[in-house]
Chain A
Amino acid sequence: MNNSKRLLAGPYLLWMTGFIIIPLILILYYGLTDRNGAFTLANITAISTPEHMKALWLSLVLSFVSTVICLVLAYPLAMILRHRGVGQKSFIVFIFILPMWMNFLLRTLAWQTLLEKNGVINGILTMLHLPSQSLINTPGAIIFGMVYNFLPFMVLPVYNVLCKIDDNTINAARDLGASPFQTLIRIWLPLSFPGIVSGITMVFVPALTTFVISNLLGGSKILLIGNVIEQEFMKGSNWHQGSGLSLVLMIFILISMALIAKYDKNGEGSAF
């Protein structure tokens, strides 16, 4: 019995070793060595250059803002969904997931076309004799791209956890004298916290590391930490520098996850 269980675990162990542990070790190796293979911390400390600090800071700010916007949009939606009939529920969830069936790059490219200087939106504005706006290549465009792409990852976990809350728990709170607002603050929010935490994780982490969205919607002027790392690998061919910065980014993600986990008593939603 025990042996067969171990046998079953084999493929997963192999997978984890080959695709998770070894790559991590490689990143660690590259990050802590220079081109000659000698140990160095220079790749890590490279983050302190003004250029890199600016990119990291901007990344943190933009991902934070996107995550907050996603949460603010997703929670009421998940709340509405929860109170719909079964048929309606699955249809609306389906509509929200539908874009995810299309290629991520394609969707973001489509927004590039829409937001461009001579793009669809500005075309419509000109037709209405309104001044055309510079939409693309702004931090706003990047936030928009992040929210657009990552919103479903916030809606689904929050919606799932809301569905698990029993109607009578809410009725009990109302019965004991709580107003709708008090019920939201004291019952809905605390009980849905695990879903909120996993939603935040699923939006904040990819937003912090993205380089595609910022490449396509932010242009070359706005550099996020993801773009910096990408350039080290692709253009500069400096794997050591890229790995070092990746390690720094990982530390920042670990810190933010730890902060979230601290407030997640049940530990259901945390990434650990």
Chain B
Amino acid sequence: MARLNCYILTGSTGRPRQSGYLPGLLRQHYIPQEEHKMNKPLIDLVNISKSFDGTLVLDDLNLSVKENTFVTLLGPSGCGKTTTLRIIGGFETADTGSVIFEGEDISKLPPNKRQLNTVFQKYALFSHMNIAENIAFGLKIKGKSRAYIDDKIRYALRLVNLDGFEKRSVDSLSGGQQQRIAIARAIVNEPRVLLLDEPLGALDLKLRQDMQYELIRLKNELGITFIYVTHDQEEALTMSDTIVVMNQGYIQQMGSPEQIYNEPENAFVADFIGESNIVPGIMLRDELVEIFGARFDCVDKGFGNNTPVDVVIRPEDIDLVEPEKGTLRGVCTHLIFKGVHYEMEVTTPDGFEWLVHSTDLCPVGKEVGIHVDPFDIQIMNKPASEDEEAVGVNE
């Protein structure tokens, strides 16, 4: 919960916004928090495998997307997230498995026959048409009336805060504006699902943050399902109802942003989502773990007695206390001011460098004690081998 507040803070640091439609206080409302209206599954990916030139990109992937949720596929480049999206959109055919849309197999349908629309990474606007013609494209293909189309164009432009842009040319728009037109062009078709392929990747930080709020607002206003692909973990945490962490063609973990952040299921997820200290430990018994010879109380159970485990502790969950009050002792060896907090490294006698985030300063060279609250300690099973780190948890 502390983390969530942190994001609300970063969203309202008083920077000038392009348009004042979303007052700072209201923004909290758009942080996904309630799991309402999440009904039946809308899209099911069943046993999807795909390889390119003999390289396996997706290995027996299963994924279920519920109606009216914001689902983010998150992972490093090459993890198969974009391929998954392209298979849903129909631009790629899976080698095996099927795509089920509302109980119907749409694996063989071409993209133009699917009830979903895509927003592409580099906007992919039609440069030979003006803004109105771009937005009208899908509706003209469907043979809608002139009046209906004009109505829709006005509505869509208002929705993305670009009223009056009808006659502008594509080239005269900035990246952020082009991206919003790409979104407008997709949503006028009233798709059941909107697929977004790293749509904010080409934008600068501030614009990206603004667009994040705008996307959440659109999702809430339109009530359509969003499937969003990104490699940016902050983006994923900010916007999603559900995050699907992928690596090497496998789903590593699937859950709410809080679950993913606070209870990573393996070292990859812990490492990929935010910064973390991953240390080897021994689970002595339920609710007691030994790290570097020191005993920490925790809340995890069911790992057995004297089991080697991996322990994840987030840098902001470490409290630096008087040396005698700490569970472990160490010396502060690094200190960087990061704005909101200080980033410190505390080296314990065994040589491990603990990453610590705190608003309290601890000068370099000072001896400190490390204390961690039991519920801030996350225990994970040790992978049996290096390879297993990439193996999925979805089967």
The answer to whether A and B interact is yes
Interface residue ranges, A against B (CB under 8 Å): 166, 168-169, 171-179, 182, 186-187, 190-191, 193, 265
Determine the distance from Cα of A193 to Cα of B126 in the docked complex, in whole angstroms: 14
B137-145, B155-163, B285-293: which lies at the interface: B137-145
B58-101: which have CB < 8 Å to A? 89-91
Say what secondary structure dominates the interface of chain B: loop
B314-350: which have CB < 8 Å to A? none
Known A166-B122, A168-B121, A182-B141; judge A174-B110 contact (CB<8 A): yes
Interface residue ranges, B against A (CB under 8 Å): 89-91, 110-112, 117-118, 120-122, 124-128, 137-138, 141-142, 182, 185-186, 189
Q: Do B118 and A171 touch (CB < 8 A)? A: yes
Q: Which of A166, A171, A177, A190 contacts B128 (CB 8 A)?
A: A190
Q: Do B127 and A171 touch (CB < 8 A)? A: no
Beyond the given A171-B111, A172-B182, A176-B186, please list 20 additional residue pairs across the A-B interface where CB-CB is below 8 A: A166-B124, A168-B124, A169-B124, A169-B126, A172-B120, A172-B125, A174-B91, A174-B111, A174-B112, A175-B89, A175-B90, A175-B111, A175-B112, A175-B186, A176-B185, A177-B189, A178-B137, A182-B141, A187-B126, A190-B128
Q: Which of B117, B120, B128, B137 contacts A191 (CB 8 A)?
A: B128
CB distance from B11 to the nearest CB of A (A): 30
CB distance from B134 to the nearest CB of A (A): 9
CB distance from B287 to the nearest CB of A (A): 52
Determine the distance from Cα of A121 to Cα of B66 in the docked complex, in whole angstroms: 69
Q: Do A171 and B138 touch (CB < 8 A)? A: no
Q: Which residue of B lies closest to A183 (CB)?
A: B112
Q: Which of A166, A173, A175, A177 contacts B142 (CB 8 A)?
A: A177
Determine the distance from Cα of A174 to Cα of B118 in the docked complex, in whole angstroms: 10
Q: Do A176 and B127 touch (CB < 8 A)? A: no
**6 A-B pairs with the lowest CB-CB distances in the bound complex, closest first:** A176-B138, A168-B124, A172-B124, A174-B111, A168-B120, A177-B141
Known A166-B122, A166-B124, A190-B128; judge A175-B117 contact (CB<8 A): yes
Q: Do B124 and A177 touch (CB < 8 A)? A: no
By a CB distance below 8 angstroms, the chain A residues around B110 are 174
Known A171-B91, A171-B111, A172-B118; judge A177-B138 contact (CB<8 A): yes
> What are 27 A-B residue pairs whose CB atoms fall within 8 Å in the complex?
A166-B122, A168-B120, A168-B121, A168-B122, A171-B111, A171-B118, A171-B120, A172-B118, A172-B182, A172-B185, A173-B126, A174-B91, A175-B91, A175-B111, A175-B118, A176-B112, A176-B138, A176-B185, A176-B186, A176-B189, A177-B112, A182-B141, A187-B126, A190-B128, A191-B126, A191-B127, A265-B128
